[in-house]
């Protein structure tokens, strides 16, 4: 697990190039989603949001298995550089060069508008390519997460994107279940999160929110895998070590979302 967490931290830091691209070149959204990425399960890539320069559509991507990042133009890869041996700031230079070649002439804001985790995993000088098996496992887990969250979206029957958020690096989604006077007052959030202070390994999560009511969890269902948390943060979590395959996650989300929807009627 330690090797996995080290790999995830490095991929997370590298992915800030996607966030910076969104901040500088993508139309700003109030929820900050212009800085998010999406996992492409077919190509096994982290893809940033599309932006347009000189009439062409570009995307910055991270290839975790090859441990590289690059840029696509109109759907075809045009640039790629290995992360191995580079510092974070050294990744900025090829990125700036690619944008200039694509026609960008403005000033670039390189300051992140949030802080990354401060634990020891993030205190490295240069990127160092992890073991290929670890990188493939990381990609597999994101693919499982995508599939499970897509299945959850169909089950909840509410539109929502599956975004990778640059701060927490979770694959997350959010369902607006009810609105009053145009404002959401009942919702469900779910996703796949890296290890943090709440769970010491990567985990799936789901929670409900009711604007004017506290959800009572006294009748919460027993889960075959995962557990309910009802103290500071209220919801359910499924640690990755309990996941056999996507069906494990599907069953977790099915049980928990059915219960939460009943509480949010």
103 and 54 in a common domain: yes
Task: Among 130, 152, 171, give the residue marking a domain's end.
Answer: 130
138 and 119 in a common domain: no
pLDDT value at residue 1 = 87
| 7 against 118, higher pLDDT | 7
pLDDT at 179 over 90: no
Q: What's the whole-number mean pLDDT along residues 14-35?
A: 95
Average pLDDT of the chain is 95
Counting the structural domains of the chain, the total is 2
Q: What's the whole-number mean pLDDT along residues 223-252?
A: 96
187 and 73 in a common domain: no
Task: Among 93, 115, 130, give the residue marking a domain's end.
Answer: 130
103 and 21 in a common domain: yes
pLDDT value at residue 182 = 87
% of the chain exceeding 90 in pLDDT: 92
Q: What's the whole-number mean pLDDT along residues 157-175?
A: 94
pLDDT value at residue 265 = 86
Q: For residue 97, what are the domain limits? A: 2-130
Q: What's the whole-number mean pLDDT along residues 1-21?
A: 96
pLDDT value at residue 124 = 94
229 and 211 in a common domain: yes
pLDDT at 213 over 90: no
Task: Among 81, 101, 130, give the residue marking a domain's end.
Answer: 130
pLDDT value at residue 140 = 97
137 and 259 in a common domain: yes
pLDDT single digits (tens) 44-73? 999 999 999 999 999 999 999 999 999 999
142 and 119 in a common domain: no
pLDDT single digits (tens) 74-123? 999 999 999 999 999 999 999 999 999 999 999 999 999 899 998 999 99
55 and 93 in a common domain: yes
Q: DSSP for the chain, please give it.
A: -HHHHHHHHHHHHHTHHHHHHHHHHS---TTSGGG-EEEETTTTEEEE--EEETTEEEEEEEETTTTEEEEEETTEEEEEEE-TT-BHHHHHHHHHHHHHHHT--S------SS----SGGG--SB--PPPHHHHHHHHHHHHHHHHHHHHHHHHHT-----EE-TTT--EEEEEEEEEETTEEEEEEEEEEE---SS-SS-EEEEEEEETT-PPP-TTPPPPSSSEEEESSSEEEEEEGGG--SHHHHHHHHHHHHHHHHHHT-
């Amino acid at each position: 697990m330690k090797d996995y967490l080290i790999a995830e931290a490095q991929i997370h830091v590298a992915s800030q190039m996607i966030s910076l691209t969104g901040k500088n070149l993508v139309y700003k959204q109030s929820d900050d989603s212009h800085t998010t990425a999406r996992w492409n399960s077919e190509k096994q890539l982290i893809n940033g949001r599309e932006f347009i320069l000189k009439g062409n559509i570009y995307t910055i991507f991270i290839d975790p298995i090859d441990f590289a990042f690059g840029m696509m133009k109109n759907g075809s890869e045009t640039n790629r550089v290995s992360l191995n041996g580079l510092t974070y700031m050294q990744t900025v230079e090829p990125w700036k060069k690619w944008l200039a070649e694509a026609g960008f002439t403005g000033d670039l804001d390189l300051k992140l508008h949030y802080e990354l985790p401060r634990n020891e995993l993030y205190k490295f000088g240069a990127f160092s390519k992890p073991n290929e098996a670890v990188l493939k496992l990381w990609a597999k887990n994101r693919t499982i997460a995508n599939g499970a969250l897509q299945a959850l979206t169909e089950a909840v029957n509410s539109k929502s994107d599956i975004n990778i958020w640059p701060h927490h690096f979770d694959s997350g989604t959010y369902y607006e279940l009810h609105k009053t006077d145009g404002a959401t007052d009942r919702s469900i959030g779910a996703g796949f999160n890296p290890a943090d202070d709440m769970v010491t390994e990567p985990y799936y999560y789901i929670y409900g929110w009711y604007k004017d009511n506290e959800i009572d969890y006294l009748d919460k269902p027993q889960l075959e895998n995962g557990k309910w948390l009802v103290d500071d943060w209220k919801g359910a979590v499924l640690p990755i070590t309990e996941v056999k395959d996507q069906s494990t996650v599907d069953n977790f989300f099915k049980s928990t979302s059915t219960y939460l929807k009943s509480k949010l009627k």
